[in-house]
Chains A and B, each alone.
Chain A
Amino acid sequence: MAATPDAIGFYTVQHCERAGWTGGYLMLNSAGRPLEFHCTLPVRPSRAHEILFGPTLREHIIGEAVGTALLPKARVRPLLICCDQPEALHLDASLPAPIGLVARAAEGEEGPVTSDSLPGYESVLIAEAECLVAMERAAAVRELAERFDELPDLMEPFSRIREAIQEAQQQVARAA
């Protein structure tokens, strides 16, 4: 993985009843332009997975199965990885870069997310957006914040990932 100055990653997993779980990982430069995009084929857990993981299945898929398979694929090493699902924060230990939850991006599914509702996490402002990172990483992430000053928005890239996943799935469907 090459170290590229000022790259930032965005990771999300999309769930669709019909297709399954699809992970997307978008790497942007500090101006918000795409460097890399990685996605998974839809992951369909078996009935056994559903029963045995129970309510923790989502956490397993987002924070383990998809994340650990997808994030190491990037050639560029980001300074920070942003996610919009709290479950992805579990990946922190296995990543070379800190991972932060973009609070407003997570609100859609989770309701208001603050450092109070996520013990052990601290809020850091990046590109004017509140990002929750593990306390022990907060100081390091704060130092990075200025390097992403030109980034227009921390929320919007997640919608780019969703559109790209949709485009990829449509093309696969057309080819089938």
Chain B
Amino acid sequence: MIIPLRQPSLPPVQSPAAGATPLAPSPADEAAPHLGAVSVQLGPSWFADQDLVPNRFATLDAETVRFRSIPIRLKKLAVRTTGFQFPESPAWQLPAKKQDDDAAAADASAARKKKKAKRKRSVDDAEGAKLTRIKPPADVVKLQDRLYYLLQPPLEQLVGSGQLNFPFKPFPYQMDGIAFLFPRYAAVLADEMGLGKTMQAISTIRMLLCSGECRNILLICPKPLVTNWLREFSVWAPEIPIAAIEGNAAKRAWQWRSGEVPVKVANYELLMRDRDIVLGDDVHFDLVTLDEAQRIKNQSSTTSQIVRSISRTRSWALTGTPVENSQDDLVGIFEFLSPGYLNRDMKAASLGKATRDYILRRTKDLVMTDMPPRLSRDAELELTPQQWASYEKAENEGVVRLEEMDADLTIQHVFELVLRLKQICNFDPATGSSAKLERLVADMEEVAASGQKAIVFSQWVSSIEKMRSALAPFGPLEYHGRVPHSKRDGVIDRFKNDPDCKVILMSYGAGSVGLNLQFCRYVFLFDRWWNPAIEDQAINRAHRIGVKGAVTITRMLAMNTIEERIARVLDEKRELFEAIFAETGSPRSGGGLTRDEIFGLFDLRCPQGKIDG
């Protein structure tokens, strides 16, 4: 409806179109007085002139809109659920032995108070800090199993809460290592030496025992490392009963079968003697862990065969050098972990891809960014005239002899010559003259003067014996194959504690694995080992966690000799390992020499052609 406008004082407003026919009066005109009128003053105003004010009116009658309600039925939100139950493991603690109830309650109360204080600190510390979760491996497929691992508390809470006591707070990468091992039934922990593989394995074993997932564990390691494992267990898992399998046959047979001690430690050599018992139907382990697992790289060796035949549920391998010589080493280790999973024909890249989920390898450069550096220097030495004369003669005669052998030439013949020449690079056989020893004595004076200690590595015990008298002012100790096992721990203790003992002379074989000598700042490699991985192991006796300052490594190298040629070949070998481990993690290892390469040292051709394996 339109309300008509009225102009009482003025005549009706004319349409601008004067001749236009006015609209017929509408019914609204009559109704207007009842509705009231709005007066509009027409004048010169710009907004109310005649153009804008209508002078006719119309009305439009609209029908009343009728509202209709339409009901909308709102369905209840459909919620579908799924659920999983997990086996309960009350806490990260071994079942307590029976004790007096009151005493137990008092202990528990005291422990709670301690834990409360610890937790407060850890929660404060953990604000925004990284939490390490146990991630299920790719081969765990069932959702319930994957969730079981995912829903475990982060490892930092174990350390911080006091549920499991740790003597030191593990480094974040060590937490990652534990989280890696815990859910895996087949795993290689291949951290570079010195990063704490032992600690990571022990802590994970401890968690598996405490959570009830494992009850019977076998650790196999080289014989000299048995005491080291026992010692490390006493530090990192003091509540876990552990025993080394040793003694007479009857005692060992009982130990193998006993379920009283959850962790047993055996050495590789012992497996040979006790193979009938170990492989018996009544012996099964929830977990078998191999330390220095490169010992089984050769699949045809008896050790490898026995180890692979042990009845077990989980298989772990610990090694700093998963590939020492060739990728076949890794295939050999995997025959223990997951038989048939790898084969020798695989290319390095595909090998790396296939093993990615099974291998964890970290290097110090990668994880220990705040670790003091490792400074390497090559002491490039000229042989003494006496050495040089002996060397030239030996080489010339040796090569001529090898060439004369023609088809009868074997790798052993070449190898003998290499060894002979390397020994001359150490000491002149006729006079005992040694450029390396002269340099070593000079360097040792500086080491001793600065109050530091040094480790000297050599391939030969005979070379070590020749160093003895020249190094007498520095109180030399010896650690090699001719030192009885029973005395070796004493040697290490004395080296650590006796301020007059400034140097220890070690053979690569005895001293390159498992020892913690991080108080030493200097390492001398009197001669080069065939394999840089072994050299790395030796160096890492000193350059490992806990080292307080930079470690200086001096590699003695006789110039223009076989040593220089070997060093060059070995440097090239590292490339292979980088190709494999580029797919799994970060590499820092190297391989030894192949037969072809050993023949190549003297420009000789391998008579049997290319030799595999």
Contacts and interface: CB of A to CB of B under 8 A. Distances in A.
Contacts of B89: 33
Given A149-B112, A150-B91, A36 B85 contact: yes
Contacts of B80: 40-41
Interface stretch (B114-122, B223-231, B274-282, B502-510): B114-122
B86 A36 contact: yes
Contact of A152 (B79, B122, B211): B122
Contact of B77 (A36, A39, A45, A129): A45
Interface string B136-154: 0000000100111011111
A153 B163 CA distance: 13
Given A65-B77, A66-B79, A74-B83, A160 B151 contact: yes
B150 A164 contact: yes
A69 B157 contact: no
A173 to B, nearest CB: 12
B472 interface: no
Contacts of A36: 83-86
Interface size band for A: 35 or more
A96 B414 CA distance: 83
Contacts of B85: 35-36, 75
Contacts of B450: none
B150 A128 contact: no
A140 interface: no
A168 B143 contact: yes
Nearest to B154: A156
Interface size band for B: 35 or more
A65 B79 contact: yes
B126 interface: yes
A52 B161 CA distance: 48
A151 B178 CA distance: 21
A39 B86 contact: no
Given A43-B77, A49-B74, A73-B81, A149 B116 contact: yes
Contact of B151 (A34, A45, A75): A34
A49 B78 CA distance: 12
Given A32-B157, A150-B115, A48 B72 contact: yes
Contacts of A75: 85
B82 A39 contact: yes
B496 interface: no
Nearest to B131: A156
Given A150-B112, A152-B122, A46 B75 contact: yes
12 contacts: A38-B81, A38-B82, A43-B77, A60-B77, A128-B120, A128-B123, A150-B163, A152-B119, A152-B123, A152-B163, A163-B133, A171-B143
Given A128-B120, A152-B119, 5 more contacts: A33-B211, A34-B151, A38-B81, A69-B79, A156-B154
Interface of B: 72, 74-86, 88-92, 112, 115-116, 119-120, 122-123, 126, 131, 133, 143, 146-148, 150-154, 157, 160-161, 163, 211
